[in-house]
Amino acid sequence: MQNYISLAQIDETAQTIRKQISIQPIAGIILGSGLNHLADSVQQAVHIAYRDLPNFPVSTVQGHVGRFVIGELEGKPVLVMQGRIHFYEGYTMGQVTLPVRVMQRLGIPCMIVTNAAGGVHPDFNPGDVMLITDQLNLMGMSGLNPLMGPNLDEIGPRFPDMSQPFDREYFDLARKIAKQNKITLREGVYAGLSGPSFESPADLRFLRQIGVDAVGMSTVPEVIIARHGNMRVLGLSGISNKANLDGSTVTTHEEVMEAGKVITPKVEKIIRGVLRAL
Ligand code: HPA
């Protein structure tokens, strides 16, 4: 397998999608573990399974469907990823972030990214929603930055700025919508680890000390790729479990999926509100 995905491959994948849709999506929405149901509300939906797309990796995690749903939400044309691709499945960073590259080549200016995360901030509880105000690229710090390899000059610069990974205007919008809907919106820093093992108590104490509020196994690479191409990004974490800093409780995938049921309606309200304002 070749190491890096080329612009020609990205365009091949984007073209395959473009041929099947008649709308121009204005937002790409990535749904995290347990948050897939939002895709079922998309109107006039066209479904494109990842397995039917050239160059596309297929998501293998239970609870992840693995398709694009393209249609309308709140009357706005959107492209929804029902099921994302995780690095821990064994794919390269290029494969993990190919969907974001495809969004860029489809001319989509905005990305709304969601995930399930462990609450590291002591006040966070399962079921909470956190507005991601910044991210900690722990995968990148260990040599796994998705921009490694030849730079795609057509999309962005070799050394892209990351001073504003998440869009500040979207912060205000998300806060306003949460308030209108009486949703308590937490805010904080999301750290991306490769997984798939959950964190040890020492990992979690370390994360807390370096300023992390929520931890998960996704999002960070996608946001870097999105910002490389100058997309505006809104990030929301669903807190599915309390990080276990003293080792007294066990974290399971089932717990993560179960919490998704409480989180989905809140995340859905915020996303719908944001789309209305776009
Ligand atoms: N750690 C990492 N990823 C996660 C967690 C967690 O506790 N919960 C959901 N995704």
Confidence of residue 3 (pLDDT cuts 50, 70, 90): confident
CA dist., res. 223 & res. 210, Å (int): 20
Q: Is 256 in the pocket of ligand 1 (CB under 6 A)?
A: yes
| Cα angle: 9, vertex 14, 17; to 5 degrees | 135
pTM metric for this prediction: 0.95
Q: Indicate the average pLDDT of the chain.
A: 92
Q: Quick check: CB of 217 below 6 Å from ligand 1?
A: yes
Amino acid letter for position 160: P
- Structural domain contains residue 71: yes
The atom number, within ligand 1, closest to the CA of 216 reads 3
Whether 261 is covered by a domain: the verdict is: yes
- Per residue in 61-86, pLDDT (tens digit) is 555 568 999 999 999 999 999 988 89
Q: Please, what's the b/e burial string for 67-99 (b: 16 or more CB within 10 A of its CB; e: otherwise)?
A: bbbbbbbeebbbbbbbbbbbbebebbbbbbbbb
3-state SS class at 257: helix
Residue 136 lies in a domain: yes
Task: Give yes or no for a contact between 87 and 193, defined as CB atoms under 8 angstroms apart.
Answer: no
Is residue 11 a part of any domain in this protein?
no
Comparing 39-53, 138-152, 242-256, the range with the smallest average pLDDT is: 242-256
Mean pLDDT of 208-217: 97
pLDDT at 256: 79
227 falls within a domain: yes
Percent of the chain surpassing pLDDT 90: 80
* Percent of the chain topping pLDDT 70: 96
Q: Which atom of ligand 1 is nearest to the CA of 251?
A: 7
Q: How far apart are CA 129 and CA 264, in angstroms?
A: 9
In a domain, 6, yes or no: no
- 218: annotated active-site residue: yes
254 is catalytic: no
Nearest C-alpha neighbor of 238 from the set 209, 211, 269: 269
Q: Which residue has the higher pLDDT, 176 or 253?
A: 176
**Atom 10 in ligand 1: residue holding the nearest Cα:** 117
Q: Which residue has a Cα nearest atom 5 of ligand 1?
A: 118
Q: Which atom of ligand 1 is nearest to the CA of 256?
A: 9
CA–centroid distance, 17 to ligand 1, in Å, is 32
Whether 116 is catalytic is: yes
For residue 200, being part of any structural domain is answered with yes
CA distance 87 to 107: 25
Q: Domain residues for 160?
A: 24-277
Annotate 39-71 with three-state secondary structure. HHHCEEEEEEEHHHCCCCCCCCCCCCCCEEEEE
Give the pLDDT band (50/70/90) at residue 237.
very high
Q: Is 47 a catalytic residue?
A: no
**pLDDT grade for 1, boundaries at 50, 70 and 90:** very low
Classify residue 130: in a domain, yes or no. Answer: yes
Catalytic residue, candidates 27, 64, 103, 137: 64
Closest residue to atom 9 of ligand 1, CA basis = 117
In short, whether 117's Cβ falls inside 6 Å of ligand 1 is yes
pLDDT for the residue 36? 84
The pLDDT of 122-143, averaged and rounded, is 94
Strand, helix or coil at 232? strand
Side-chain-facing half-sphere of 12: CA atoms under 13 Å: 10
Among protein residues, the one with the nearest Cα to ligand 1's atom 3 is 216
Q: How many residues does the chain have?
A: 278
Annotated active-site residue in 36, 86, 121, 137:
86
Beta-bridge mates of residue 190: 135, 214
* Total number of domains in the chain: 1
**133 or 242, which is more confident:** 133
Residue labelled with tokens 């209305």: 276
Instruction: Evaluate: CB of 116 within 6 angstroms of ligand 1.
Output: yes
Confidence of residue 140 (pLDDT cuts 50, 70, 90): confident
CB-ligand 1 contact for 190 (6 Å cutoff) = no
Alpha-carbon gap, residue 200 to 220, rounded angstroms = 20
CATH code of the domain covering residue 66: 3.40.50.1580
Query: 266-276 burial string, b = 16+ CB within 10 Å, else e?
Result: bbbbbbbbbbe
Catalytic: 33? yes
